[in-house]
Structure 1
Amino acid sequence: MSLLRDIQGSLVEGKPLGPILLKLRLLASRLGSETLEEWVKHESEGYPSDIDLPDYRKIPIAYKATFTGPFGSGMQNAPIPPYLIEKFAGASWNFSHMRQSIAGIDKLVGAEQDPGQTLHINASNLILLLQGNVYEDYACNSVTGIISVGALVEIQNVVRAKILELTIQLEKSVPDAVEIGLGISPTNQFSKDHDRVTQITHQVINGNVTSISNTGDNALFSFNNSAGDRDAFVNTLTKAGIAKSDAQELATVIASEKPDSKAEPFGPRAKGWIVKNIGKAADGTWKAGMAVATNVLTEAALRYYGLK
């Protein structure tokens, strides 16, 4: 049976995601798409700490706390507004980064998949950070973080939807993909479709693709960096083939000044850095050609400054 059709059938029938992801990884390998393979591997095995996490795996956390006050007064399970959590502890505390494998998330959800259920996480470190900052004259004795099981179910649903959309788009744009089955040995017959498969993967998984032309070939990059996110800026440049040390150096320069305009997103220091380093694209030090490197630097800077 066709691997692609088998995957689609399993999705429609509501079968577990684990085996479906294994089949999709095999299909990705036969198509020669490292980008698709990497996404499937992370969903199957979990996301390492040094890998950017997709937005759909960042779920909100609600906090409740116990407070005691003067004359024996107190409050049990008092909700703490996200604004106060961000103000005194940092924005990262308002979200849980779910790096577990899909199998791990299945385990957390449980067999019943009751969206009304909740999971508690240890938030004891917040006690000191919130002490005296929530209710005046009340001491914070305990803090509990709460995650809705419904949010975990939504991760499962998103992954299912993305796999289905991937197979539908592959069927439309790479018709030969339908012919791939378990008995077909890997060949180079699909190498010509590699760029198209990569583009589809970026569009479905990231929902944000910019196509940059370099000597007639399409080099596809996903720009996920948001305004002011230095780490994402560095990751974007590194994935495009720019040396990490250079990407980090430019990020420091970019953060130290403001852009001249949307049409010219580089300040004086950034312009000087580019003039000094762009030759690395020509001599092979960077794995990106001159035109691609220039466009990637501009696009990433625009997004860092919130101009796009």
Structure 2
Amino acid sequence: MGFLDMLIDAARQVPSTADVLRGVRLLARRIGSAELEAWADRELSGYPEDGRLPSYRGPYRCEAHVRYRRTPGGVAPGMAPLPQSAFAEELRDSRLMRVYEVAVVDPVDHLDDLVRAGAPLVRPWGGVQIDLINRLIDIGGLDVEPGHTIAAAETRLAGDSVAKVVDSVRSRVLGLALGLERVAPSAGDEDGPSSVSPAMHEVITKTLA
């Protein structure tokens, strides 16, 4: 069995997407593709917060949940949904609504863990965001119960959306291996090509698009 055959089987069967990507990284090194190796490394280690993301990593629409502080009464137990409709109508098309978006920059092994647990991807809000929201409450830009402010907040990307990101990675690996198998069947083998031909480069480019 050649290297590409093993990679195809791994993309279809191996539970750990990180292990599949380690196979891609080895393939990239053997064929001399810095572009492919960089993609595998980013998927394994995560993407920078301010960097460019592949389209399959979002941003995605998500839900916001908050924990209220009540006066009197202190911090309320548990988290409650914060719908966009709670914001004043003139704010609902503003940049503020980006709090309802999540860009999935996390390493793929973390995403795998969430998929196995059926759990959402959670992003806590920073202090600056919470202060802004509380100022909106003060001026009537956010409709909450009287005497309530926000003590903590987070965005949650549903588990099925997280699973779609993982599936997209695995589909790209499978497409890569199948495409290379057509144009360079021995790619990844120890005695296979050590440089990327134009046909191989086309397959890699389509994979990373």
Q: 1:166: which partner in 2?
A: 176
User: Unmatched 5+ residue regions in structure 1?
Assistant: 207-308
**Which residue, 133, 137, 142 being the options, matches 1:134?**
142
- The verdict on how the C-alpha distance between 1:45 and 1:186 changes in structure 2, with shifts beyond 3 A counting, is farther
CA displacement at 1:49 relative to structure 2: 4.3
CA distance in 1, matches of 2:156, 2:50: 25
1:183 and 2:190 equivalent? yes
User: Cα gap change, 1:69/1:32 in structure 2, threshold over 3 Å: closer, same or farther?
Assistant: closer
Counterpart of 1:167, as a letter, is A
Structure 1 position 101 matched with structure 2 position 104: no
For the pair shown, the structure with the greater C-alpha radius of gyration is 1
Cα distance in structure 2, aligned partners of 1:136 and 1:28? 53
Which structure has more relative contact order (CA 8 Å, sep 6+)? It is 2
Query: How has the CA–CA distance of structure 1 residues 19 and 81 changed in structure 2, closer, same or farther, with 3 Å as cutoff?
Result: same
Deviations 1:205-255 (A, max 9, x none): 22xxxxxxxxxxxxxxxxxxxxxxxxxxxxxxxxxxxxxxxxxxxxxxxxx
Deviations 1:235-281 (A, max 9, x none): xxxxxxxxxxxxxxxxxxxxxxxxxxxxxxxxxxxxxxxxxxxxxxx
Question: Is this contact kept in 2: 1:127–1:140, CA < 8 A?
Answer: no
CA distance in 2, matches of 1:71, 1:204: 56
Contact 1:21 1:40 in 2 (8 A): yes
Flag the 1:85–1:25 CA change in 2: closer, same or farther, 3 A: farther
1:137, distance to aligned residue in structure 2 (A): 7.3
Contact residue 115 and residue 162 of structure 2 kept, 8 A: no
State which of 201, 206, 219 in structure 1 corresponds to 2:204: 201
Structure 2 SS opposite 1:146? strand
User: For 1:9-43, what per-residue CA distance to the aligned partner results, in whole angstroms no more than 9, with x for missing partners?
Assistant: 11222431222212212222222222212111111
Structure 2: segments with no counterpart, 5+ residues: none
1:22-171 paired onto structure 2 within 5 Å: 22-49=22-49, 51-58=51-58, 59-65=60-66, 77-81=80-84, 84=91, 87=94, 89=96, 91=98, 93-107=99-113, 109=114, 111-112=116-117, 114=118, 117-123=119-125, 125=127, 126-130=129-133, 131-132=136-137, 133-135=141-143, 138=146, 139-142=148-151, 143-171=153-181
1:89 counterpart SS class: helix
- Contact 1:42-1:101 at 8 Å conserved across structures: yes
Q: Secondary structure at the match of 1:179?
A: coil
Partners of 2:143 and 2:7 in 1: CA distance: 53
Provide the C-alpha distance between the structure 2 equivalents of 1:180 and 1:137, rounded to a whole number of angstroms. Answer: 63
1:111-158 CA distance string (max 9 Å, x none): 44x2xx334432253332223211177443243322222222211111
| TM-score of the aligned structures, taking structure 1 as reference length | 0.53
The answer to whether the 8 Å contact 2:47/2:107 transfers is yes
Per the normalisation by structure 2, the TM-score is 0.74
What fraction of aligned residue pairs are identical, expressed as a percent? 19
The runs of 4+ residues in structure 1 deviating greater than 6 Å are 68-72
3-state SS of paired residue (2:47): coil
Distance 1:71 1:26 in 2: 60
Q: State the shift of 1:50 in Å.
A: 5.5
For residues 6 and 22 of structure 1, do their structure 2 counterparts lie closer, same or farther at Cα, with a shift above 3 Å needed? same
Instruction: Give secondary structure in 1 for the equivalent of 2:65.
Output: strand
Structure 1 residues 144 and 99 mapped into 2: Cα distance closer, same or farther (>3 Å)?
A: closer
